Amino acid sequence: MNMENEKTPIKLLFGNIAIYKTEDVDSLIDNMDFEQSFFYIMQALQYGHNSNLFSLQESELISKALRILNKGIKSEE
């Protein structure tokens, strides 16, 4: 595979959501649905945790809240 043909993101949101042009962020915001909003919140919290932005107690509280939310979403499917 030719590496020159691969796109390089201009930014990574939360460390893993690739942005290739500035309009991509506007598109994400304008077209966001419930599942996407939940995904972005999860990514933001995981990024914060991995970046050591939260104390141990805060991380545990967030972790528990996410497990409860995930369980609720999966039971609705």
pLDDT reading at 2 higher than 60: no
Contact 48, 54 (CB under 8 A): yes
SS3 35: helix
Say whether pTM exceeds 0.75.
no
**Distance in angstroms (rounded) separating the CA atoms of residues 71 and 68:** 5
Residue type, 4: E
Q: What is the tens place of the pLDDT at every residue in 18-66? A: 999 999 999 999 999 988 988 899 899 889 988 999 999 998 998 898 8
User: 5 falls in which pLDDT band (50, 70, 90)?
Assistant: low
User: Which of the two residues, 58 and 4, has the higher pLDDT score?
Assistant: 58
pLDDT at 1: 47
Token pair recorded at residue 5: 């043909």
Query: If we measure between CA atoms, which residue out of 69, 70, 48, 43 comes closest to residue 59?
Result: 48
The position carrying tokens 């942005």 is 19
